[in-house]
Structure 1
Amino acid sequence: MGGQQPASYVVSPALDGDPAVIFVPGLGGRTRFVDGWNAPGREPVIRRADWSEPMRVPPVEERGTALASLVAHSGATEVVLVGHSMGGLVCLEAARHLGHRLRGLVVMCQYPPHRTPLSPLAELPDRALAEEIEAPPHIMDTVALPEYARRWRSEYRLLNRYLESDPRPVLNAPVIAVGARDDASSWNTGILHDWSEYTTEWLSVHMVDGGHQIVEDLPSETIREWAGKVRG
């Protein structure tokens, strides 16, 4: 349709010229829990990035470019990106475009691209796929499950395509890689240390108890501590 804005991220609260911490979700895009991190008086505010067209599934690189463009146009000059799972790869792609605006990157529950195996989940039936990714009950039991499953399959196929390419941005900013002990995507600290290949600055690896969705249970103080560490 004429005049329609291209799909992009919507960051809430909106970006301004102040330092910003932006959380980018992984598959499924759940971000509502971020609002609970921002009780009155807690600084800095942690912003959540939501894709503006949830059922459209763009490549990882396109999402990263869109987020970087949004940050650049906002005037924000001190940005920490926090990504969970595939959102960590989106942050990596956004970071390659941000230059001096980027102060640091926090990646949770995600191995570096060259150490992430291709995913077989795109081939699972709808309900099995929903169970595998720990979809919320209201999605598991809705008649819209096939449409959600279509989206998830598309995201996994795009993720695999990204992993098969040569995503080797090297950032001039520190990186914190966070693994969860019960998460197949991040339990191995040796693999997490390979995030060092993506930065000319320092890397710090942290392990927490829990599984892949541990991000939804982490205290906001922990997120702010990591963001403050990379910001310096």
Structure 2
Amino acid sequence: MGDQDSAHYLVSPPLGDDPAVIFVPGLGGRTKFVDRWNTPGQEPVIRRASWNDPMNVPGIDERGAALASLVTGSGAAQVVLVGHSMGGLVCLEAARHLGRRLRGTVIMCQYPPHRTPLSPLADLPDRALAEEIEAPPHIRDTTALATYARLWRSEYRLLNRYLESDPRPVLDAPMIAVGATGDASSWNPGCLADWSRYTTGPLSVHLVEGGHQIVEELPADTLRAWVAQAGG
């Protein structure tokens, strides 16, 4: 059957009608580390959702709708969405379209929209921007940096536009909000607790040691425990 795509999203392994867990990355879209969350024979498989047209950068609400369209078209009846950073906002927007298909969400390293300040990063020079978002050396140290920086700035401008928009979706499903002690986007449990505005279901807040990219080092058992909690 191969990978599935809809409106520029790619989910791998492909979705079927079995319960699904889908991870949505933030800026930069790194997903290779998802592989170590899966072991042969373990269910549910944690799938990667990747935006497969990097030169086309739509708004967060459009990306959420595209992901929801893919899930709905696949026949998947039960879905837990896991989002990191800006990917958490994409999950929020996707969830608004999924209705009873949504079992829950896990949002990592992202304050709720009304507690997230507008980002000044779109105004940084290329190198400073790359260092601020912890871009890997193979991007920072090549001539391709200028191209990547233009895309990053586009995403931050779209993020700011989203943060200024209204109304927000309110979900009817459990939500897990995960912060990191060294991350300016998620270190405050009080701010994370305000995710309660976005769901009528139970909210659980967790704080872990580390920085913004803690998701890349997160133990599989820890993530799977949160997924199980969110899935009810």
TM-score by length of 2: 0.96
Give 1:202's aligned residue: 202
Q: What is the CA-CA distance between 1:6 and the residue it aligns to?
A: 6.9
Give the corresponding residue for 1:81: 81
SS of structure 2 residue aligned to 1:178: strand
Counterpart amino acid of residue 50 in structure 1: S
Amino acid at match of 1:21: V
Letter in 2 for 1:134: E
Amino acid of the structure 1 residue aligned with 2:198: Y
Question: Matches of residues 33-52 of structure 1 in structure 2 within 5 Å?
Answer: 33-52=33-52
Aligned residue type for 1:146 = A
- 2:64 aligns with 64
How many angstroms apart in 1 are the aligned matches of 2:44 and 2:69? 22
1:6 & 1:115 partners in 2: Cα distance? 31
The whole-number CA distance in structure 2 between the counterparts of 1:86 and 1:6 is 20
Compute the displacement of 1:46 (Å). 0.2
Kindly report which structure 2 residues correspond to 1:11-160, keeping only aligned pairs within 5 A, or say none: 11-160=11-160
Name 2:8's counterpart in structure 1.
Answer: 8
* 1:129–1:96 CA distance, 2 compared to 1 (3 A): same
Please, what is the CA RMSD of the aligned residues? Answer: 1.0
Cα drift, residue 77 of structure 1: 0.7
Say if 2:103 and 2:173, in contact at 8 Å, map to a contact too: yes
Amino acid across the alignment from 1:63: R
Please give the secondary structure, in 2, of the residue aligned with 1:41.
coil
In the TM superposition, residue 167 of structure 1 has moved relative to its aligned partner by 4.2
Give the Cα–Cα distance (whole angstroms) in 1 for the partners of residues 167 and 92 of structure 2.
9
Equivalent residue letter for 1:17: D
Asked if the contact 1:113–1:167 (Cα under 8 Å) also holds between the matched residues in 2, the reply is: no
3-state SS, counterpart of residue 178 of structure 2: strand
Residues 1:230 and 2:215 aligned together: no
Structure 1 residue 39: deviation in Å? 2.1
Gaps of 5+ in 1: none
Asked if structure 1 preserves the Cα contact closer than 8 Å seen for 2:107 and 2:176, the reply is yes
Cα deviation 1:23-44 (Å, max 9, x = unaligned): 0000010011111211213221
Q: Which runs of at least 4 in structure 1 moved beyond 4 Å after TM superposition? A: none
Q: Does 1:186 align with 2:210?
A: no
Following superposition, the deviation at residue 168 of structure 1 comes to 1.3
Q: Report if aligned partners of 1:44, 1:224 keep a CA contact under 8 Å in 2.
A: no
Question: What CA deviation, in whole Å up to 9, does each residue of 1:112-157 have, x standing for no partner?
Answer: 0011000000000000000000001111111110000000000000
Residue number in structure 1 paired with 2:221: 221
Residue 230 of structure 1 deviates from its aligned partner by 1.2
Could you tell me how far apart the structure 2 residues matched to 1:227 and 1:177 are?
Answer: 11
CA deviation string 1:185-222 (max 9, x = no partner): 00000000000000011100000000000000001111
CA contact (8 A) 2:6 2:67 kept: no
**TM-score in terms of structure 1 length:** 0.96
Percent of matched pairs sharing the same residue: 76
- The CA deviation string for residues 42-71 of structure 1, in whole angstroms up to 9 with x for no partner, is 221100001110232110000000000000
1:151-196: per-residue Cα shift (whole Å, max 9, x none)? 0000000000000011410000010000000000000000000000
